[in-house]
Chain A
Amino acid sequence: EPEVTQTPSHQVTQMGQEVILRCVPISNHLYFYWYRQILGQKVEFLVSFYNNEISEKSEIFDDQFSVERPDGSNFTLKIRSTKLEDSAMYFCASSADRGLNQPQHFGDGTRLSIL
């Protein structure tokens, strides 16, 4: 079964540094998402992306965050200047279309630790 893959599985970064989290969505999917899960808390929506532009973003997704689909396969999340509170699991997801009945398929996540 096709999977969403994320790299790295664990990223440790000094506060203030830039970090790029990478995702390869399922190949025929068109809609891409980033979510995060702070330890012990619920999964929170960050951003959705379609047709090379952001469709929707949450309040969490401020100017420090950006997303990009640099080629036909990768989907990246960049945090420009990391803060301690950015420490979380970051999940990438994709779906074949944005229909409300379509499940999103998630990767295994990147654990981001900010020191």
Chain B
Amino acid sequence: AQSVAQPEDQVNVAEGNPLTVKCTYSVSGNPYLFWYVQYPNRGLQFLLKYITGDNLVKGSYGFEAEFNKSQTSFHLKKPSALVSDSALYFCAVRDEYGGSQGNLIFGKGTKLSVKP
């Protein structure tokens, strides 16, 4: 069965420092991986995706994510955090053999808090 794990409920970072939000996944086929961000009282905004190709993908707002097939991970990163990056971050996956018609399987989310 498809699943996504975000092992950290919360990540605290000082502004200007690099940040990493962790995600691991489990699928039966090739994974299609996504990161979404949710600001308070807002919906989920698409940040970036990994389909195939380069393991390092770049997305919105200076975020990037590194796909690691051997570790089944897709960690979200940013070289220099901003206070405005504080939000809830969701990792999601689709499985090419999962039989689904396209629905996303989400992790439980990680709250990122960036302090000035």
Q: Which residues of chain B in 78-116 are interfacial with respect to chain A, using CB atoms and an 8 Å cutoff?
A: 90, 92, 94, 96, 100-109
A43 touches B44 (CB 8 A): yes
Count of residues in B whose CB is under 8 Å from the partner chain: 25
Cα-based distance from A44 to B94 in the complex (angstroms): 13
A45 touches B104 (CB 8 A): yes
Give chain B's interface residues, CB within 8 Å of chain A. Answer: 32, 34, 36, 41-46, 49, 51, 90, 92, 94, 96, 100-109
Give chain A's interface residues, CB within 8 Å of chain B. Answer: 4, 6, 31, 33, 35, 41-45, 48, 50, 55-56, 58, 91, 93, 95, 98-109
11 example contacts (A-B, Cβ-Cβ < 8 A) are as follows A31-B102, A33-B103, A43-B104, A48-B103, A93-B44, A100-B94, A104-B46, A106-B43, A106-B44, A106-B45, A109-B43
